[in-house]
Amino acid sequence: MEMEVKQFKKQHFENYKNAIIENIKKNTNTLVDEDIMSLLKKPPLEAMDLIKSKFLDIAKKEKIVLNIEILDKMMEDYRNVVVKCLSEVKDNREKILIKKVEDFKYEKETNVFKLSKKDFNDVNKLNKTVIKNTVKKAINSEIVGKIDELFLDKEVNTQKIKEEITKYLSGSYQRQLIENIEFKIIVKDTTLINGIKEQADRYLFTLSNSRLLKEDLEN
């Protein structure tokens, strides 16, 4: 009977670890597919498209006519390039965090797995680099590198609009985007930390109150 109880406890521990892994996957999927994606996909309203609005504002100020169809295509291509990197972001987060769970060994039955803010440092630094580099390259290849295609009047001097839009995209736009993404990540990190604490409480509660798991203590 004692041997069976030990096996039950070991299985209880493995179930607990598997539940943590599922929590990490769910948390990461929501972070990437919903939270970060909401900042990168096409906005529901034209006025919310920061890059397109900036182009139109500058063009209006400089009295330059733009090809809106090409501008829309540029925005779509830019977003598609950036969104592709999110699968790497998701994989990085899952692999690094799940590895921490898998390395957590059954030594004492009352030991529980914990995550702290510092446990996210490596993966968040890695993913920030992936996103920043992708956004920078996508801006250069899909927007800045194709600006000349936008102008209906090929004789107009476009240097000023190029300089202004490049300054905006490489400066405040990128900075604001990365800050918003980092905020989304911090919120989900905190949610995961708290969720894992709750799982630990449930694990310990079951360990203490399940007749099946404490049978050996009564004999």
Cα gap 125→17, rounded to integer Å = 25
Q: Give percent helix, percent strand, percent coil of the chain, each to the nearest 5.
A: 80, 0, 20
Q: State residue 26 phi and psi, 5-degree precision.
A: -65, -45
Whole-prediction pTM: 0.88
27 and 195 in contact (C-beta within 8 Å)?
yes
Q: Output the average pLDDT for the chain.
A: 89
Residue 126 scores a pLDDT above 90? yes
Position 64 scores a pLDDT of 86
194 and 156 in contact (C-beta within 8 Å)?
no
Sheet strands (E) in 35-194:
none
**Tens-digit pLDDT profile for residues 89-116:** 999 999 999 999 999 987 777 789 999 9
Q: Who wins on pLDDT, 183 or 219?
A: 183
In sequence order, what are the residues at sequence separation of 6 or more whose Cβ sits closer than 8 angstroms to the Cβ of residue 52?
Answer: 46, 71, 72, 75
Position 217 scores a pLDDT of 42
Position 218 scores a pLDDT of 43
Single-letter amino acid, residue 154 = K
Q: Who wins on pLDDT, 138 or 153?
A: 138
C-alpha separations of 166 from 35, 39, 135 in Å: 27, 20, 13
Cα gap 216→219, rounded to integer Å = 5
Q: How confident is the model at residue 7 (pLDDT cuts 50, 70, 90)?
A: confident
Residue carrying the six token digits 């999927």: 29
**Tens-digit pLDDT profile for residues 190-208:** 999 999 999 999 988 888 7
Residue 128 scores a pLDDT above 90? yes
Q: How confident is the model at residue 3 (pLDDT cuts 50, 70, 90)?
A: low
In sequence order, what are the residues at sequence separation of 6 or more whose Cβ sits closer than 8 angstroms to the Cβ of residue 170?
Answer: 136, 139
Dihedral angle sign, alpha carbons of residues 176, 177, 180, 186: negative
